[in-house]
Amino acid sequence: MNIVLLGPPGAGKGTQAKRIEEKFGLIQLSTGDMLRAAVASGSEIGLKAKAIMEAGQLVPDEVVIALIADRIDRPDAKRGFILDGFPRTTKQAEALDRMLAEKGIKLDHVIEMKVDDALLVDRIAGRYTCAKCGAGYHDRNQRPRVEGVCDACGSTEFRRRADDNAETVSKRLQAYHAQTAPILPYYRAQGALKTIDGMAPIDAVTGALVRILAAPTAKAPAAKTRPAAKAKPKAAAKSRPKAKRRAKTAPKKAKRPVKPKDKRKAKRPVPAARRKVPRRAARAAAGRRSGARRKSR
Ligand SMILES: [Zn+2]
């Protein structure tokens, strides 16, 4: 199963990718990590990437694609991959598709983590951590119990990432939307795009992802039984008038079962204290009643 996870920086793609990676036995491919690893390994592509980065240039798409191609050939990628942070442009998406097609594999899901920009800015810009233990806090949503003192370790020093300010986050989001907007229709046209609410709590987002990823196994038998599935609506349509008829006759039928129910109730032994009519008389009455019903038919 091969997945692309789309979402702006700060949407929690990395966190979600890690969770899914473990659950489904996939490998998470972060192009940043792959580039760093390639450079460190001193491989041919790594050296090429290193030279480009040292020259202060953006690593060309074909280099990134080559890195991904190498990585997914490794045995640990047999069950599939999660691409996080790539592709960012339609050109990259097309290049990725070409490379995958050459290998005879395709993307199963492209999942967009949709965010509310204003909310995301607020969420990111308000966050800070304890400088000592790393516990996370937020200006509005999660303040320490005692102002200025870490709940976890008592430290009074906190850290805020320099780029976690409203202006920078807004700019990052704008850049993301400008670049990524055309990718969405590209993948939508392929029928691969699914959108989930990236603003939901972390566990809820994971749940939504798991539901999408678990779907193929459920889809496979559904595809086999498609004729049956098609037959079902027909059967349902046929049975609909029946159901209507039943509904019409239901009140009549409903009147009848009332008596047997009463009879059943009457048959049930009644505690002596509550028994006002002697049991034999009650039985006789029940007999009379059922007799009357038989006549009425
Ligand atoms: Zn702390």
What confidence tens digit (pLDDT) does each residue in 122-143 have?
988 999 999 999 999 999 889 9
Which residues does the annotation mark as catalytic?
Answer: 13, 88, 127, 161, 172
Q: What is the pLDDT of residue 58?
A: 83
Taking the centre of ligand 1 as the mean of its atom positions, its distance from the CA of residue 156, in whole angstroms, is 8
Taking the centre of ligand 1 as the mean of its atom positions, its distance from the CA of residue 141, in whole angstroms, is 17
**Coil, helix or strand at residue 195:** strand
Closest Cα to residue 142, out of 133, 154, 151? 151
pLDDT digits (tens, 9 = 90+) for 183-198: 999 999 999 999 999 9
- What are the Cα distances from residue 288, in Å, to 208, 293, 294? 63, 9, 10
**Those residues with Cβ within 8 angstroms of residue 179's Cβ, 6 or more apart along the chain or in another chain:** 88, 89
pTM: 0.65
Q: What are phi and psi of 110, to 5 degrees?
A: -115, 115
